[in-house]
Amino acid sequence: MENNRNYIRLIFGLKLKQLRQEKHLSLNDLAEKSSLSVSYLNEIEKGKKYPKAEKIARLADALEVSYDSLVSLKLTRNLTPIAQLIDSNILEMLPLDHYGINLNKFISLMSEASYQLSALVSTVIEMAHNAELSQNNFSRTALRIYKEINENYFEDIEKSVNNFISGFNLDVTPPIILQLLPDILKDEYHYVIDEKRFNDFNELRQLRGVLKPGKQPILFLNPGISTAQKSFILTKEIAYNYLEISNRSYIHSSLKLNTFDHLLNNYKSAYFATALLLYKDFFVRDVNNFFKQNTWSSNTLLEIIKKYNATPEMFFQRLANLTGKVWEIHKFFFLRFNTSAHSDRYDLTKEVRLNIRQNPGGYQTSEHYCRRWLSIELLKNIKHELEGIESGGKMKAGILHSKFHQTEDEYLSISVAQQNVLDKDMFTSITLGFYLDDHLKKKINFWNEPKIPFRIVNNTCEMCNITDCKERVSEPITLKKIQISSDIENAIKKL
């Protein structure tokens, strides 16, 4: 509702400014004719204030237009794209404020744009509608870019974690004692924790938790979650309170995070949680020992994850946070894929790419991701192994030395796939892929172990011209279209 009022103010201000300029009136001229102050008119034109009916009538008389036409939301041709932009909700999805862009100034600049730029805006909006650009995808893309701009590391949250540990005199030797977390929520933030009510609602079986806010918040936890998931949720709730984050989702599920603010604040609380549960001093020491090994060991990796009572995603998220800061590895990608037992569909649900040209995730298109990547291969293996079996969240780790087809870019990817503890037919893989250069070779001793598989990879089947690929699930349709277009252009040049 507040957004609607804001947009009405913006549109009224744009119309007033346009009419004033059409009449060749300065702000001083209009102030004199309407008996309103220059500062007040300036506030109206900037979309900060909306005048009362009596003042609108005075403005209409001064501009020699009808009251109804002045308050109408209908705009002239060059301002129509702005109305379309507002109606499309794209401005709500785009986190302008987080990038230091004032919405009112943005709209004002657009109002002074040329017809050509206005046409471009209309084209972008139309493309967004045709591509069925959802707010969810838009917000998630904005968050990914936000993380990449910050190198996926946030010093202020790291400091907050250290202050929290000092303030509560916590022992963060892994694993953190689980009972410490609900005690802090109960004693410090007056929480009630309920682990029984979830069983009364079969519809909520896929959710990990729900918070009922209030003076005495009630955190309903799904009793089926693992102890690692439980620790993570409890610590995220601590983070929301300690960091004083109020604009948040009360549902602990990535399915219910749509707005950019909810996504960003969820990420901040998750960052805080992993930074606390996988405390930097201990975590860096253990990862250093792992990297110094001369041979790759999936068991060693899984043992470290279990040592911190973490999920694979918590482990890799913490590693991705510290990769640049601690090990000065600034080229990597982070991917999370989901799939179900009876499907050949693999959904990319989270990604971060830092300083790399390729996109192993395939740009979240409807095309088929390259099945040669470790992320997909590991999921296929664990699905085959655990089909119909409830393993309690069994994990499987793997490593791959890959090289992009037709380039010299190589990656060392480490991945862990896991069966969902709440649904035996759902599987997730988390992958961290490091760009393989001389610097990485000095950091990870086992990078060239002969036992590590090597594969030529690509982005998607539709864009791949590898002729002998046994894993291909679709013909290179997109690539063929590009080639046909290129052949036509070359023929025209010869003609």
- 3-state secondary structure string across 73-129: CCCCHHHHHHHHHHHCCHHHHCCHHHHCCCHHHHHHHHHCCCHHHHHHHHHHHHHHH
pLDDT at 173: 95
- Nearest to 6, CA basis, from 126, 100, 92: 92
Measured between alpha carbons, how far apart are the two ends of the chain, in Å? 61
pLDDT at 344: 84
- Nearest to 12, CA basis, from 69, 66, 64, 65: 69
Give yes or no for a contact between 209 and 252, defined as CB atoms under 8 angstroms apart.
yes
Q: What does DSSP say about strands 209-212 and 218-221: parallel, antiparallel, or unpaired?
A: antiparallel
pLDDT at 1: 41
Q: Please tell me the distance from the alpha carbon of residue 232 to that of residue 271, in angstroms, as a whole number.
A: 10
- Nearest to 423, CA basis, from 310, 305, 343, 335: 343
Tokens of 256: 């219910």
Tokens of 112: 């002074």
The full set of domains in the chain, from first to last, is 2-146 (1.10.260.40), 172-277 (1.10.10), 280-483 (no CATH)
pLDDT at 469: 87
In the sheet that holds 454-457, the strands lie side by side as 347-354, 332-340, 426-435, 410-419, 395-404, 454-457
Q: Is 341 left (phi over 0), alpha (psi -120 to 50) or beta?
A: alpha
Give yes or no for a contact between 305 and 318, defined as CB atoms under 8 angstroms apart.
no
Cα–Cα distances in angstroms (integers) from residue 425 to residues 221, 253, 376, in the given order:
21, 18, 16
Q: What pTM did the predictor assign?
A: 0.78
Per-residue pLDDT in tens (0 to 9) along the chain, 495 residues: 445 567 778 778 888 888 888 889 999 999 999 999 999 999 888 888 899 999 999 999 999 999 888 887 666 655 666 666 665 556 655 666 665 666 666 666 666 655 556 666 666 656 655 544 455 566 777 788 888 888 899 999 999 999 999 999 999 999 999 999 999 999 999 999 999 999 899 888 889 999 999 999 999 999 999 999 999 999 999 999 999 999 999 999 866 666 778 888 999 999 999 999 999 999 999 999 999 999 999 999 999 999 999 999 999 999 999 999 999 999 999 999 999 988 888 888 888 888 887 666 554 457 788 888 899 999 999 998 998 888 888 999 999 999 988 788 999 999 999 999 999 999 999 999 999 999 999 999 999 999 999 999 988 888 888 888 888 888 888 888 888 988 998 999 999
Burial class (CB in 10 A: 0-12, 13-18, 19+), 366: exposed
Burial class (CB in 10 A: 0-12, 13-18, 19+), 418: buried
Cα–Cα distances in angstroms (integers) from residue 203 to residues 174, 302, 419, in the given order:
35, 32, 20
Q: Please tell me the distance from the alpha carbon of residue 11 to that of residue 45, in angstroms, as a whole number.
A: 9
